[in-house]
Structure 1
Amino acid sequence: MTAATPRTPLYASPTGLTELQTVLADTSTSHPKVRVAGAGTAIRWGTAPTSAVLILDTRSLQGVLRHSPTDMTVAVRSGTPMSRLQNELAAFGQRVAFDAARVNAGATVGGLIATADAGPAQQAYGTLRDLVIGATVVLSDGTVARSGGHVIKNVAGYDLAKLFMGSLGTLGVVAEVVLRLHPLPHTSATLRLPCAAATAVTLGSRIIAAALEPAALDWCHDHLMVRFEGGEEGVQGRLAAVTRLTGASGEVLRDDEQSPAWQPVHEMALGRPGDTVLRVGGLPGDGAQLLGAATALADVWGLHLETASSVGVGVHILRIRAGAPASRGRFLTALRADTAARGAMVTVRRRDGLPADTDMWGAPPPTVSVMRAIKRQFDPEGRFGADRLAPWL
């Protein structure tokens, strides 16, 4: 006999792995629908979470479990804010080489994994997916599963960290994570070059081809920003090399001046209340065409569109700051059709301003059958993240 669904949701805030296991095991029948909640920095992404009878707050799962400065790894509970972790690691001259905009907004380690978010540093260090080497997750019946460890190597079976990357809380709860670390750079400087988007893609390609190894390479508000990290002499030499290579002069911002240089990039990624923010992922060389097509479509629907781009990795941010909901919805539909024809994909990172009935995910990818099979294996009762990835799952 199926238990009646409680009218008032149960809120749970476990402080450790054992407590998290117990909560999920004890409520498997009485509370069949679970929503995993963290700092809430991605609550506007994609489809709105539906009502759940168990709200599982991970923010009490905090703290470093083990830090090995020599091996350059750290094990941390998933509810730990990434900014707090970075501050603790800085005392050892180390960091997680990750700078998504939501870090400064209080995003947790687990929340950043659940959304597969990334920032400008992905140019040199990859996304968080590339920095996670181990994970402990708890499934719907309280079962604990682990993969990886403190050694940077391949593992047999499921790589849980990568499997849960971008899952938006639909497979289980990430409880603990092991991260690969990098040293803090001795010197960091950003060169700002004024240019249009098409020029930025060309210049970015030349900088990468010249093996100058920028730490970040983003275009925003008609400026290409090139960040270099390392020793003082090396950074100075690469800054000079970019000037010679591009034939353009720009402004160099150092150390404490660097934050204002990258703030517009972070603001674009986050958006503000009322903004619709979209992420487009495609091939790096197609950036100018993708942004040009998006701008033309925005003009058709009378929308005010701002764009930014991580030109070296082919990730672009579109921010709609004004326009009727119906026009924004039609723009999204047209943009999806255009980008799909170019082999690119659109993700809704902030759904403000879109009609309530908008299909937030669009057509399912070719891998949707694999996604559904994994969902059945990890969460056979469909307990986690109801409708979060609907209609895909």
Structure 2
Amino acid sequence: MSTATTYRPATLAELRDALVGSARERLAVAGAGSASAWGGEPVHDAVLDTTALNGLISCNPTDMTVAVQAGMPFATVQETLAEHAQWVALDPARAGTVGGLIATADAGPVRHAFGALRDCVIGVTVVLADGTVARSGGHVIKNVAGYDLAKLFHGSLGTLGVLAEVVLRVRPRPAATATLAVPCDAATAFDLGGRLIHGSLEPVAVEWCDGTLLARFDGTAGGVEDRLRRARALAGPDATEAAPDAWSVVAELVRGADGDTVVRLGTAPDRTPSLAGLVARTAAEHAVDATMTSSPFAGAHTVRLRGGTAAAHAAVVTALRATHPATTVCRWTDGLRAELPAWGEPPSAVAVLRAVKRAFDPDDRLGRGRFAPWF
């Protein structure tokens, strides 16, 4: 039975008190979210559960902003905004909280058009390791007040502080949507995707998933119908209109299942075909089933490994890290941690990362071990 202290704050003041108390007791604190296995295994004496920080602070449809506590499930934010025919332009596969999605830099296929969650954030309130409350941005879209803490915390895996409140920009919800599906290899997908983009068709998502290119078009009913027709003509006879659940295949691959290893990494867009070739070759060499989904023009890729041994999975991930050291393991098959370091070789900017960590959390109490051995 775990003897770790658990904090469940429901207000900003309670969150601040939890950080102050853990500092006084010199406790190492880890998050309790759905991405707690990402990267290195956290070493902790206390667990911070932010799911009670789930309130709606304000919703301003006219200003196109919404402010929430960071523990609110992202799906709840979207449901709230749907009442006003609006949405936050993000479609992550994982059902996380707003703060958790920022901390993991999680995003989905529509990052092609709208970017990641950090591009939707216009203000944050965070609590640092010593209990200091810091704010940046505000409640209006054109805001340049303070340091951009949202971008600093984006992808930090809870190692710099705890997000307490988040202000998001929202967009009108499209009246219609449709998806083009084209079976093809990665090189063809990159070429065809480029022609769809440069042909003034404005897809909001372009994803190559398990041998199929998916291109999503949003807008008015007439506009979507017209762009889909032109996209099919450009793509050729193999192109079809996909079923409404076509994107669920992408989400299932990204989430993985028990026994899978799931990793994500970034490349320059034109490296997508070579990465697909590397994944296929190394998986075949080690008798592992590998499936890949990519937002090629955002340079974001997810690889799922299934079957084979933990050692075989480790060999494939090691091959990926030879050219992409920051490959993040998001799901670990049983025994993989014993075969593989949490991270590859440190990036060239590791000195900057360490300096930021020392400035925000000098005692290394928050998310200790998440980026080990980098810091």
Place the TM-score, normalised by the shorter chain, in its bin. over 0.9
Question: Partner of 2:150 in structure 1?
Answer: 161
Given the superposition, is the C-alpha separation of residues 371 and 36 from structure 1 closer, same or farther in structure 2, using an over 3 Å criterion? same
What is the TM-score when the length of structure 2 is the normalising length?
A: 0.95
> Structure 1 residue 271 and structure 2 residue 256: aligned?
yes
Question: Partner of 2:41 in structure 1?
Answer: 48
Contact 1:31–1:53 (CA<8 Å) still a contact in 2? no
CA distance in structure 1 between the partners assigned to 2:260 and 2:267 by the alignment = 23
Q: Return the letter of the residue paired with 1:84.
A: T
2:329 to 348, 351, 357: 348
Deviation, structure 1 residue 17: 0.4
Q: Return the letter of the residue paired with 1:322.
A: G
SS in 1 for 2:358: helix
Deviation, structure 1 residue 194: 1.7
Q: Return the letter of the residue paired with 2:39.
A: G
Q: Return the letter of the residue paired with 1:349.
A: C
CA distance in structure 2 between the partners assigned to 1:184 and 1:156 by the alignment = 28
Question: Partner of 2:213 in structure 1?
Answer: 224
CA distance in structure 2 between the partners assigned to 1:102 and 1:69 by the alignment = 26
Question: Partner of 1:79 in structure 2?
Answer: 71
1:85-164 to 2 correspondences below 5 Å: 85-103=77-95, 107-164=96-153
Question: Partner of 1:386 in structure 2?
Answer: 368
Gaps of 5+ in 1: 1-6
Cα deviation per residue 1:30-73 (whole Å; 9 max; x = unaligned)?
142111223x2x133211222x2221110000021011111101
1:170-319 to 2 correspondences below 5 Å: 170-253=159-242, 257-258=243-244, 260-319=245-304
Given the superposition, is the C-alpha separation of residues 48 and 27 from structure 1 closer, same or farther in structure 2, using an over 3 Å criterion? closer
Q: Return the letter of the residue paired with 2:37.
A: R
Q: Return the letter of the residue paired with 1:78.
A: A
SS in 1 for 2:155: coil
2:8 to 13, 33, 50: 13
- Which runs of 4 or more aligned residues in structure 1 lie more than 6 Å from their structure 2 counterparts after TM superposition? none
Deviation, structure 1 residue 221: 2.7
CA distance in structure 2 between the partners assigned to 1:8 and 1:360 by the alignment = 25
1:28 to 23, 44, 63: 23
Q: Return the letter of the residue paired with 2:260.
A: D
Deviation, structure 1 residue 157: 4.4
Deviation, structure 1 residue 363: 0.9
Q: Return the letter of the residue paired with 2:340.
A: T
Q: Return the letter of the residue paired with 1:130.
A: D
SS in 2 for 1:177: strand
Identity, % of aligned positions:
49
Q: Return the letter of the residue paired with 1:335.
A: L
Contact 1:117–1:127 (CA<8 Å) still a contact in 2? yes
Contact 1:101–1:270 (CA<8 Å) still a contact in 2? yes
CA distance in structure 1 between the partners assigned to 2:204 and 2:15 by the alignment = 38
Q: CA RMSD of the aligned region, Å?
A: 1.6
CA distance in structure 2 between the partners assigned to 1:212 and 1:195 by the alignment = 20
Q: Answer with 56-65 or 331-340: which moved more.
A: 331-340
Question: Partner of 1:3 in structure 2?
Answer: none
Given the superposition, is the C-alpha separation of residues 391 and 94 from structure 1 closer, same or farther in structure 2, using an over 3 Å criterion? same
> Structure 1 residue 57 and structure 2 residue 52: aligned?
no
CA distance in structure 1 between the partners assigned to 2:337 and 2:48 by the alignment = 29
Q: Return the letter of the residue paired with 1:382.
A: D
Contact 1:37–1:55 (CA<8 Å) still a contact in 2? yes
Q: Return the letter of the residue paired with 2:81.
A: L
Deviation, structure 1 residue 311: 2.2
Given the superposition, is the C-alpha separation of residues 386 and 214 from structure 1 closer, same or farther in structure 2, using an over 3 Å criterion? same
CA distance in structure 2 between the partners assigned to 1:156 and 1:366 by the alignment = 30
Given the superposition, is the C-alpha separation of residues 200 and 173 from structure 1 closer, same or farther in structure 2, using an over 3 Å criterion? same
Cα deviation per residue 1:244-300 (whole Å; 9 max; x = unaligned)?
2222343324xxx52x21111001101001101111211111111111112111122
Q: Answer with 264-273 or 327-336: which moved more.
A: 327-336
SS in 2 for 1:298: helix
Deviation, structure 1 residue 355: 4.2
Question: Partner of 2:349 in structure 1?
Answer: 367
